[in-house]
Each structure stands twice: as structure tokens, then as C-alpha cells.
Chain A
Amino acid sequence: MSKINLFIKEQVKTSRNELYLAIGLGGLSGLLVIFQAWLMATMISDVIFKEAQLAELQNRLWYLIIIFIIRAILNWTSNLSAFKAVIKIKLDLRDKIHRHIQKIGPVHATKKHSGSDVNTMIDGVEAIEKYYTSYIPGIAFVSILPLAYIIVTFPFDWISGLVLLVTAPIIVFFMIMIGQGAEKLNQEQWRQLSRLSSHFIDTIQGLPTLKIFNAAKREAAIIAKLADEYRERTMSVLKVAFLSSLLLEFFSSIGVAIVAVLIGFRLLDGNMEFVDGLFVLLLAPEYYLSIRNMGGNYHAKMEGIGAAEQIIEILDRGDFTKNTDTNLLKSDLNLTNNKSISIAFNNLSFSYEKDRQALTNFNLKIPANKRTVLIGESGSGKSTIVNLILGFIQTNEGEILVNNKDISKISLETWRKNIAWLPQQAHLFQGTIADNIRLGKENATEHEVKEAARLAFCDEFIEKLPETYNTIIGERGAGLSGGQIQRIALARTFLKDAPLLILDEASANLDRESEKLIEKSIDMLSENRTVIIIAHKLHTIEKADQIVLIKNGTVLNTGTHKQLINNNEHYQELIKKYHETFTI
């Protein structure tokens, strides 16, 4: 809890002044209510008891309208000032989260479902807004205004002052009740409602399946039944939940009523000036309102804290005990003469979590300008090797040498300039197809882009699209097949033309055509390059210069297909699985 509060406070640092201004302006407007009430009371009193003509009121009428205008402007500017403060906070937070995710890389960043991180960055950051625009100023107002109203009331009428003072704790008590009890109930109801909604959508989405099994008509009754059950449950909860707000409403209404009646009797007895009584009556509702405004703020607070929790969770991700210090002076990788890369793993160990060793005493030499293929069961450590080379994860146990230089001594940015990478499921970004290919080389000419597309065999279908290379890519490449997406991503690697190529072969079924084309394309790409492939296709394995057989985080064997097929049982077994492909 205190960590969250600290976090929330820390964000304010940059925009403290705007927030103070918001509180000052809003508070001033609240105090002006007192003058506003006093002006109204004296005018009414003068009309009734002093036979005042309109002309005698003229000045005060002007003052009154001016006070209303000033209050309008004060409230407006107070809001805007709070908003300005929060804009700074939101921009900072979003940038902070984004850069943090980039810093820790995809392996650490995507522990959770990526969708929920996107929600935190968009909605979570938005949700924190109300904490600063409503809750913080609200807390300030509630600690100034009711007190000010009550202090003003006492000299005029101490009995009413007492009524206000005594009822305040009751109001606050019920507000806390509502805040805590009802809020929880409310959230539970919301959870149930969203469950109900997702069942509803789930059912509609599944209509084809339901119809196949002749269950579609049955579901109609279930939808109605669930909604009715939800209604009954909700109503029985609400009956109780609304009770505390009933009492809250009741005590503040009855507070005003008691003030009015008690003043009335003293006026009748001649123990009080009318103007004083009316003034107090006008202030009483403002007094209760200012206390009750806290209720809404509670919600803002909870929402803000919830959002802060999610944000902190992201910012806490990543393991910084390991050697990722970017401030360390790092040398550049010198590849000027010989643009080829060889990699060696020496006694390297890595674990994602304690007790879950991914690589143990791993030793491997990846020769320059050769094709190395990694195979093994899923979970054997293939991806970990690639992630280490890509710099997505680091380890302190053992070392990785690139051209005999410790990889941790090379700056990541420089190192990555030498890598082209095609992941198992490539991502296409917002923008045109050309933009997406250009990711490989930012300033590539149109000709270069087209050439890369040609080499990746995606020129043909791209040119058939109405907008060809300028086709805007839909969400997750909507409209393109998995194979087409991979080929576009492959064009990037041609464009980048890096000395090291890393491929994670798609294990999912691409269409046959794409599979063949990608295969051909990779063969071209592999010339004069160091290539590392996590293989899923037999064809790829057979073509390798070096096959690395991995099991439980260690190298079981290395060699060519011919060497391994005859004298390695484990390899034979693995290959059998690839071999028994169904033929037409």
C-alpha cells in the first residue's frame, strides 16, 4: 500500500504547482459561496423588513452577479489547472512504461497476456487521471470548506452550528459505509455483469457450433434465465446496498430541515434576526454538499490505486540483478574487415525462474557463414539460446563470445545492427506494406523495397492488391494469410542484409505454397551468412551444415544429418517424427 502511495506521490513532483493552483482556485470559489449567501440573505431581508426599493438593491445585485461570474471562472480554471497537471503525469507515465518494456525486452515484458499490458498503458494511465483531478483537490476542499462554513455559522447562530457539527460525523460514517461496503458489492455486481456479457457474446460467437449440435434454440432460454437470475441477485443486493445512501440522504435532508425549523421558532420568538437565519439556511445545503462530494472521490481514489498497482507491476518486471547495466562503457563490435560472425557459448547456464534451469553448462560453437540448425523437443532450450543471442535475456553464468569478444561488452544497439531475425509468428505493424518491409532498412528506396519483396516471393501477391505496396495493413495483418505475413517479414531480412540471420521456423501450418517459397527464399538468403535456425521441417534439417541436438538445456550431439542419422538413437527417433509425413 505504502509503495503505491509513494509511487502516486512521486508522479506529482513535476506538476505540483498546477495542482496547488487548482486547489487554491477551487477553494476560493467555495469560500465565495459564503459571500454569495450573505448577499442574498441581506437583500431578501431588506425587501421584507426594511421596505427596500429595487434601486436600493441595485449595487448588491451587481455584486451578486459578479460573484457568480467569478466563481464560474474560478471553477473552470481550477479544473483546467488540475487537468494540465495530469496531462504531464500521463505523458510521463506512458513514456516510462513504454521505455521500460523496451528496456527489458520481449521475454521479460510478455509474462502476462499482451492485451492486458496494452490496457494498462492506455486505460490504466487514463484511470489514474481522476486520482489527481478529483481525489487530491477533493481531499483539500473537504478539509477546508465544511470547516469554513461551520466557523462562519457559529457567530451567527451557534445552535445551527451545533446541528451541523453533530450531523457531520453521521454523514461521514455512512459515507465510509457506502465507500467500503457498497463499493465492494458494486464491484462484485460488475464482475458478474461482465461475466454475463461475455457468456452472451460467447454464445453468439459460437452460434455455428451450437447449430451444428442443434443446441442453438436451447441457449435462448439459458440467456434469459441467466439474465433473470442476475437481476434477482442484483436486486436483493441493491436493496441493502442502497440503504446506506438512503440514510446518508436522510441525515443531510433532515439536517437542513432541523436547521430550518429551529431557526423558524427562534424567529417567531423574536430571538434572532431574520437575515442571520436565512444566511445560515442558505449555507446549510452547501455544507452538506461539500462533505458529500467526498463520496465520489473515494471511487476516484480506488480507481487510481488500482491503476497504479498495474503500472507498478509492469515497472517491476525484468531482472536487473544480472548484467544489464547500460551505463557500462561498451565497445563496438568491429567487423570492418571480415563481415562474418561466429558465436561460441562457454559453460553457460541460464534459468528463467529459480529451480527451472533452461540451460546448464551449455557449450556450443556456431561457425561463421555456415547454417546451424537447432532441434529438440519443445522446452529443451532452443528458444533460450536464440533469446540470449538476440540480447533479450542475459546471464552471468558462463559467457557468449562473438568473434571471440564477450557479448556483454558489446553495446546491444551495435550488436543488433548485425542481426536479421524472423520470428515464428512475425508481426506486421500499423502502416503500409512498404513501411513494414522498410523496417529492415529505414531509408531504403522504392526499388530496394521491391527487390527485397521479389527475393522473399511476396511481390506477386502484393502487386495484385489494389494499392500494391501502399496497402494499409489491418489489425494483425487482417486479410493476409499466415504465409503471406511471414513472407513480408522475410523481405525485411533481405533488406537488412545483416551478417547474422536467425530464423524461428513456423511450426503452425502455413499453406504449402508459402512453405515452399519461404524455403527457397531462405536458401538464397543463407549464402555467405551465419544462419541459425530453430527447425520444424525435415527439409531444413537435412540441409544444415551443423545440426545441434538439444535436450534438457544441454547439447546432446552435433554433426551433419548423415553423421547423426546412423549413430544417434535420439536423433533417429526425432527424425522419425518428421519423416512420417502423410503423402497424397
Chain B
Amino acid sequence: MTDNFKNKEASSLSIFIRLSKLFKPHSKLIILGLFLSVITILANVTLMSLSGWFLASMAVAGIANVTMDYYSPAAGIRVLAIARAFGRYFERLVNHSATLHILSDLRHWFYKKIEPLAPAILQKYHSGDVFSRIKSDIDTLENVYVRIIVPIITTFITSALFVFFMYLYDVKLAIIEAFALITAGFAIPLTLLTLSRKTGKELILLSSQLRQYTMDSIQGLGELLIYGASNKQAEKINKLSHKLSKAQYKMAFYNGLAQASLTIITGLTIVLVITISTPNIRSGEMPAVNIAMLVLFSLASFEAVMNMPEAFQLLPETIAAGRRIFEMTDSKPSIVEPNNPSPTIANFDIAFENVSFSYTKGNKNVLKNLSFTLKEGERLALVGKSGVGKSTVINLLTRFYDYNKGEITIGSNSIKAFQSDDLRQYISVASQQNQLFNNTIRENLLLAKPDANDNELDKVCKITQIYDFIKTLPDGYDTWSGELGYKFSGGQKKRLTIARALLKPSKILILDEPGEGLDRETEKEMLKAIFEYKKSTSILIITHSGIKGIEHLKII
């Protein structure tokens, strides 16, 4: 049990260290940011204590009717006030800049790591929300610096300085200051975290449940009404909503408790500072004016630990996010690139010879002893029920995965002998996912051939019968697709992605379910035009229904 615990702690720390290493290129900026954060806090605390000392000294001098050098402290007060304001300004600028640098680096780093691993790595995480999780994990990690590293380091530095400052006057004062800062900065937030951990988890669970049930309510509204279940559903949601509020109230209760403890600790510290200083002053060990300074100092010094509760709160989720991200980037690639350059090809005959494959080791084979050939320039339809691994054929041919048994060849060369980039140069695919990027139609098409001109775009769009539609859009090819742009229907997406695949000057064309979302008339005409346009290209069509105008048929 304890061993287990230790292991986990060690790996948390190692994750934190790995994260910090990613920030190394910006160490100068980071150090400057930390320095400015420390300066800002020091300026404020010094301003308050100096003001207290100044007032007391001026009053003493006034009563004793002696002169006093008031220029330097008065100037000091003004300088500190200005230093605080500007310190805060530059600290915010530098730390924002550092955060944005980190944001840029982190994304670039993650993309470069994940690129060779995709799509196998992404498929491993079956759930559909792997992408939103990546997004929120990366977002979390981007805030590590400004929300966790800065507060923790500045707290350590300023707290140490404050305790040392108190030590200059009395050891007991130093102990009290240390005790106060540790309680306020560490003990209270940690206790809060432990107390509220269960409630915190409950909160996350309840709000995701509420979200799912609400989704049900809206998406299944018609069914709920017709089947007379709408009242029951409303009650369910009310119950969950009530539970959620209760958990939130509990959380507010704990947070309030922590806040209250902080206030009481502050009061206690001031009382103790007065209690210890007064006898020292009476015995003549300490000048009387110091008490004004010390009380104001201890009051202001709590600023050092202000951001610690947030840092503590974020720490566990940050470590968890880091662990998930590193776990992904540390995965082994699903294929191994050959050491030698790719062979040159005499012809583009494709052959599958007794190919077997399963996505995860030990699981049932998705493909079992599949054999077929597609001679250069010929057409083949792979037909079969859904779930028999037709799309897997594409994944293997494009080397997203390596087959476990048998051999796939192009022009009699094993495809494993090719650099995957070279291999993919020969192949164009319109996959079933119909992926369009959040970009213009033009950019989406040009992906296949960056230097294509408008005539070429027109041609492929006419073949897939999407040309007329594009022309009706006010922005034509410059219409944006995706979240922020035009919501294309499934059939329109299908036609655009097929047009894109046609644009790529490849020797082999693969179409996965080209008729999906299209009416039969359109599908037929489109395929006819494609066969016409790509006369000398090998075409592999994957479908669960039949296709006219194709020479070969393989049922799997």
C-alpha cells in the first residue's frame, strides 16, 4: 500500500519535471516573470510596513520636537507605490507572454509527437470524446506555468524573505510568521482539498450526468412525449439538478470554511505580534516605533500566499492531464518505417496474399486470410456486410497499420519496404468519415493538390455533381465549412471528399461507400463519370451494395 503510494507520488513528480522541461526554451522569460512577481509582492508589503514605521517615527519626532530625515522614507513610500503598480503591469505582460509561448510550443510539440502515431493511437481510445479530452488536457497544461509554477515559486521566495525579516527582530516573531504563512498557504488549502475531494468528484459526476440526461431530454423529446415519459424525465432532471446544487452548496461550505480560517489566522497573527513585541519594547530590546511597522507588515504579508489555494486545487487535475498526454505521446508507433529508401516501381498491381489482421493483440482477427489482386488500371469492388473489415483494407494498404500475417504488395514489392509517405503518394482515398476541415472549400480541395487551378477544381466538382451547388453559395469555393461555416449535409460532404480524392494525381483510387447519403441516381451518374475521368487509374470501391460498371468483384 505504502509502496504503491510512493510510486504514484514519484511519477507525479516526474510528470511535473517532464512538463517543466518542455518550458525550458523560455527559461529567461520565466525567470523574469518570477522576478517581477516577487518584486510586486515585496513592493506592496514594504509599502505598508514602511508607512507604519514612517507615521510612528514622525509622531515620535513631532512629540520630542526633534528634526528627522523624512525625505528618504517619504520618497521611498512614493517609489514603492509606483513600483507596485508597474511591477504588476510588467509581471502580467511577461507572464502572459510566457504562457502564450508555452501554448505555441506545447501544441507544436504534441502535434509532432502524435502525427507519426495517428490514426492508430487515436483509435485506441475508443471513446468519441478523445479529441475534446486532448483539447482540455492541453488547455490545462498551458496554464501550468501561470497558475501553478508562478504562485508556488513566488510564495516560497517571498515567504522565506518575510520570515527572515521577522527573524531580524525576534526569533519568536519569525516562528509566528512562518506558522501563519504555512497555515494559510499550505495547511488550509490542503485540508480544504482533502475535505472537498469527495464532493469535488461528486460534482463532476453529477454535472456530467445532468448533461447527459438533458441531452436525452432534448434529442429524444419527441419519443418522451409520445411514450408519455416526459413528466418522469422532468422529475429525473429535477432530482439530479437538486443533487448537484446540494453538492455545490457543500463545496461553497468548505470554501467558506477555508476563507474563514484564513481571516482568523490573520487576526491571531496580529494579536501574537503585538503580544510578543510589547514586552520587548518595554524591556528596551526593540524601538517602540517598530510595533507599527511589524503589525502592518504581518497584515500585508499574507499576500504572499494568496494564490496558493488555486494552485493546490489545480495540481491534481494538471498531473492527471500531463499523465494522459505523456501516455499518448510515449506510445509506440503502429508501423516501423524501413531504413532503406523506397523501391522504384515497375507497375501498380496490388495484391493481398492471405492477409490477416487484428487491431489489438489477441483479439479476433478483423481480416482473416484475405487474398485479392487489382491489376493496374482495373477496377475492383470489395463487397460485404458492415463490420467485416472492408475499411480495414484501406488502413492496411495506406500503412496506418501493419498486417500481422500474409503480404500486401504493390508492383511485387512488399508495402513494408516503402517509406509510408512515399507509399501514400501513389494512393488517393475518399474515406467513409468524409472529413472536411474548418477551412474554405477551396483549401479543403487543394489539400490533395496544392497547386491545382480553378479549372481542375471545376472539373472534379462537376464529376461529383457538387459544382452547381457550390456556385449557388455566395462565396463559392471560398465558403467556409465546419463549426464556424456552412453546415454541409452528409451527401454534400461525401461529394466534396470524393472530389478531393479525384484531384490527387495518384495511380490508385480508393472509394469507401461512395453512395452513402446520395440518392441512387446521383451515385450511378457520379461513378460513371469517375470511371470515365480516371480511365487509367486502378480503382478500388468498398461498398455493401453492388456497383455497376465494374470488372471485378470480391465478396468478403
Contacts and interface: CB of A to CB of B under 8 A. Distances in A.
Interface stretch (A148-156, A345-353, A412-420): A412-420
B362 interface: no
B292 interface: yes
Contacts of A481: 386-387
Contacts of A223: 107-108, 111
A144 interface: no
B207 to A, nearest CB: 7
Contacts of A43: 274
A48 B56 contact: yes
Interface in A220-266: 220, 223-224, 227-228, 230-231, 234-235, 238-239, 242-243, 245-247, 249-250, 253-254, 256-257, 260-261, 263-265
A238 B111 contact: no
A580 B111 CA distance: 47
Contact of B520 (A65, A110, A206, A577): A577
Contacts of A220: 108, 111-112, 115
Given A68-B268, A246-B85, A511-B544, A91 B438 contact: no
B287 to A, nearest CB: 9
B70 interface: yes
A424 to B, nearest CB: 11
B60 A48 contact: yes
A569 interface: no
Interface stretch (B187-195, B224-232, B317-325, B410-418): B224-232
B51 A260 contact: yes
A270 B484 contact: no
Contact of A257 (B58, B77, B215): B77
B261 A98 contact: no
Contacts of B545: 512, 581-582, 584
Contact of A57 (B52, B278, B484): B278
B217 A105 contact: no
A209 to B, nearest CB: 4
A429 interface: yes
Contacts of A195: 484
Contact of B425 (A75, A106, A197, A214): A214
Interface in A84-123: 84, 87, 90-91, 94-95, 98-99, 101-102, 105-106, 109-110, 114-115, 117-118, 121-122
A26 to B, nearest CB: 12
A53 B278 contact: yes
B315 interface: no
A379 interface: no
B469 interface: no
Among A198, A231, A245, A390, the most chain B Cβ lie within 10 Å of the Cβ of A231
A127 to B, nearest CB: 13
A390 B248 contact: no
Nearest to A199: B438
B85 A253 contact: yes
Nearest to A122: B211
A76 B260 CA distance: 6
Contacts of A577: 519-521
B89 A245 contact: yes
Given A57-B274, A64-B270, A209-B431, A91 B241 contact: yes
B546 A261 contact: no
A99 B230 CA distance: 9
B62 to A, nearest CB: 4
Given A210-B447, A227-B107, A73 B260 contact: yes
Interface string A414-444: 0011011101001111100000000110100
Contacts of B425: 214
A68 B249 contact: no
Contacts of B233: 102
Contacts of B338: none
Interface stretch (A1-9, A165-173, A274-282): A274-282
A6 B437 CA distance: 43
Contact of A429 (B101, B220, B230): B220
Contacts of B398: 211-212
A73 B259 CA distance: 10
A582 B519 CA distance: 11
A246 B234 contact: no
Given A214-B425, A481-B386, A416 B225 contact: yes
B308 interface: no
A284 B226 CA distance: 65
A299 to B, nearest CB: 16
B5 to A, nearest CB: 32
Contacts, number: 418
A465 interface: no
A87 B241 CA distance: 10
Which DSSP category, helix, strand, loop or mixed, fits chain A's interface?
Answer: helix
Interface string B24-60: 0000000000000000000010011001101110111
Given A235-B100, A577-B519, A72 B260 contact: yes
B111 A277 contact: no
B160 to A, nearest CB: 25
B178 interface: no
A416 B226 contact: yes
Contacts of A209: 431, 433, 435, 437, 447
B424 to A, nearest CB: 6
B221 A264 contact: no
Interface in B479-512: 482-484, 490, 500, 504
Nearest to B101: A231
Contacts of A198: 438, 483-484
B421 A204 contact: no
Interface string B345-380: 000000000000000000000000000000000000
Nearest to B420: A211
Contacts of B122: 204, 207
B131 interface: yes
Contacts of A64: 267, 270-271
Given A43-B274, A413-B228, A95 B447 contact: no
B529 interface: no
Nearest to A234: B100
B223 A439 contact: yes
A574 to B, nearest CB: 11
A195 to B, nearest CB: 7
B340 to A, nearest CB: 20
A215 interface: yes
A475 B520 contact: no
A84 B245 CA distance: 9
B168 interface: no
A106 B44 CA distance: 59
Contacts of A79: 252, 255-256, 259
Contacts of B225: 102, 105-106, 390-392, 416
Contact of B241 (A94, A253, A390, A391): A94
B179 interface: no
Interface stretch (B13-21, B91-99, B455-463): B91-99
A274 to B, nearest CB: 4
A34 interface: no
Among A83, A91, A581, the most chain B Cβ lie within 10 Å of the Cβ of A83
B494 to A, nearest CB: 11
15 contacts: A48-B56, A54-B279, A95-B241, A101-B221, A110-B221, A118-B218, A200-B138, A205-B131, A205-B435, A208-B435, A215-B447, A216-B115, A235-B96, A269-B62, A416-B226
Given A49-B63, A110-B218, A281-B51, 14 more contacts: A48-B56, A79-B256, A80-B256, A87-B248, A94-B238, A105-B221, A122-B211, A231-B101, A238-B96, A250-B85, A254-B81, A268-B68, A421-B222, A492-B227
Question: 6 smallest A-B Cβ distances: which pairs?
Answer: A68-B267, A227-B104, A427-B220, A584-B546, A207-B118, A72-B260
